[in-house]
Amino acid sequence: MNKDQAKDLFNKVLSAKRLRKGVSVINENEFADFYALLKERPELNDLFYKYSNKEEMLNPSQLLAFLQTEQKVINVNEKKAATFINKYEHSGAKPASFMSREGFQTFLLSEEMDIFNFQHRKVFQDMEQPLSFYYIASSHNTYLMADQIAGESSIEGYIRALKMGCRCVELDLWDGEDNEPIIYHGYTLTSKILLKDVLSNAIKTYSFATSEYPVILSLENHLSLDQQKILAKHLKTILGDMLYTQPIGELSNLPSPKSLKKKIIIKNKKLPPKSKEEETVSADSEDDDEGRPTEIVQDANADKPKALKKVGCPGRKKTKGTRVKLAQELSDLVNICTAVHFRSFDHAKKQGKWYEMSSLSEDKAYTLADSKLEKFVEYNRKQLIRIYPSGKRQDSSNYDPIPLWNVGSHMVALNYQTTGKYMMYNNAQFLTNGQCGYVLKPTFLVKGIYDSGMISSGVMFRQMFTIKVNEIISGQHLPRPDFENKGDIIDPYVIIKVRGHEVDERTFKTKVVQNNGFNPIWNEVFTFLIKVPQLAFVHFIVRDYSSTGRNEKLGEYCIQFENIQQGYRHVHLVDKYNRPIIPASIFVHVTIT
């Protein structure tokens, strides 16, 4: 809000001229009136009066009409409307079950009236399908707080990821002093943490703090045989009954998330049945450049800076056919997430087992998603797969998870320590279903005949959706960029991006509102057809226009299409760390037909 607008409001409430040091001042009552004028939302007042018959109060019947007609709320009655009044009205009208304009505004800013479907904040999906039917929230280099060369390794990385609902975390394991395995990014200058501390203070304590559904420990096992045995001992003694140890022979298919509640699953290589103690297994469980635990030769000076050049980071190549020893004690803890080297989809179809899973680099996965789309989808229906960032991403940057979710990839592992749009998409994907870390994949990715042509045309679906953002109506309390001077006033505009299947992707932009971050009004309409709603994300971005082209981001919000509520909704903005920017929001009107 610029100075002239503020001055006009000030003069409206000034009942008598008072000067203090030559400056006009207002009293306590006038300040209350001034604050009330600041909070006025003409766009909400119009909506309020439409249903109150231009009276100053809404009764339960009128509020019910608003909920059913505008908000498209089902399973609501007059009694429920009265409950909303009781919850959100704070004036003297509350005892008589009336809602004032202020109460109406509070109600529309509530979680129930948010653009995100309030009912999806709890687990509502079928959790009794095989694990391969779900997207699984997954972290890469979970222990790192920053880059992969000299960043800090910390238990906090695991705690943060688990509290965010992440269900697959990575343990990069190396031999440590005093026969104690350590976790760090091998052959780099990243700091080291003890495995037993991670298990005790993070995995055991926080695995089920946010979600009761299973956690997968993805082991990058660089350990000697002796320390593998220590690893197995720590897993059993520290995690105890949490550890999922049911033999594969007692199962015929991947279990469901529900059947695995509060269980921790180990992902690692496994010795063949009836193998001898300490038998060797193939080192080629990973696709190319993740981890290189299984290289035969370890540089004695690997902790020194010059070792970075000698060993090569990233992308240290291992010799094909390399075999390493695997401790029987560790192998016995591996069951439904047995790591195997990926050869081809045809090989997996002929010889792959339901309990085997592979890991692919983002580059390999993107190539397969482009060239063998149908086979990729078919593979993901039966076996689990984990995708991880390219080893070239030394800065712990992220890659785009959406093309890999589009083919049904389960564990698209991202660097949770790194902010940006790709983590924003990840947050949007896994906020639903109670943020439990498991999201049921679309039916066409798990059952029936998959035909990419029918999907892109929309023929496969009984109904395509036209989403009409009838209006991006207004904004409230938009923040200034950190770098701007205190006296600067922002010039905000909104970008809407649709991500998902390539046929649905598009971008829209509003006009720029000059000199108003307090309560800008846009009143612009955007309409777009969504052919594959199950894969679509809608990303709202608010920027500050700059003649220099900097156009700093002020806030954003991303939502998976199937979580969108129709009607007059607030989009509550978050910062780059996905933290709410209270009370910043944009007000939209959405219809889906």
Q: Which two tokens stand for residue 386?
A: 């984990």
**Contact by Cβ (8 Å): 102, 91:** yes
- How many CB atoms are located within 10 Å of the residue 268 CB? 23
Give the DSSP H or E segment for 457.
helix 452-457
d(CA 337, CA 451): 29
539 is catalytic: no
| CA torsion, ordered 416, 268, 349, 138, to nearest 10 deg | -10
- How many CB atoms are located within 10 Å of the residue 115 CB? 23
d(CA 129, CA 408): 15
Residues 209, 210, 211, CA angle at the centre, nearest 5°? 105
Q: 178-211 in b/e burial notation, b at 16+ Cβ within 10 A?
A: eeebbbbbbbbbbbebbbbebbbbbbeebbbebb
d(CA 459, CA 464): 9
Please, is 543 exposed, middle or buried when counting C-beta atoms within 10 Å of its C-beta (0-12, 13-18, 19+)?
A: buried
Which amino acid, 513? V
Q: Is 176 helix (H, G, I), strand (E, B) or coil?
A: coil
Q: Secondary structure of the chain: what % helix, strand, coil (to 5)?
A: 35, 25, 45
Nearest to 318 by CA among 271, 270, 347, 282: 282
| Catalytic hit among 140, 222, 501, 539 | 140
- How many CB atoms are located within 10 Å of the residue 245 CB? 15
Q: How far apart are the first and last CA of the chain?
A: 36
**Contact by Cβ (8 Å): 563, 431:** yes
570 is catalytic: no
Which residues on adjacent β-strands are paired with residue 569? 588
CA atoms 148, 151, 153, 154: torsion sign? negative
| Catalytic hit among 120, 185, 570, 572 | 185
Active site residues: 140, 185
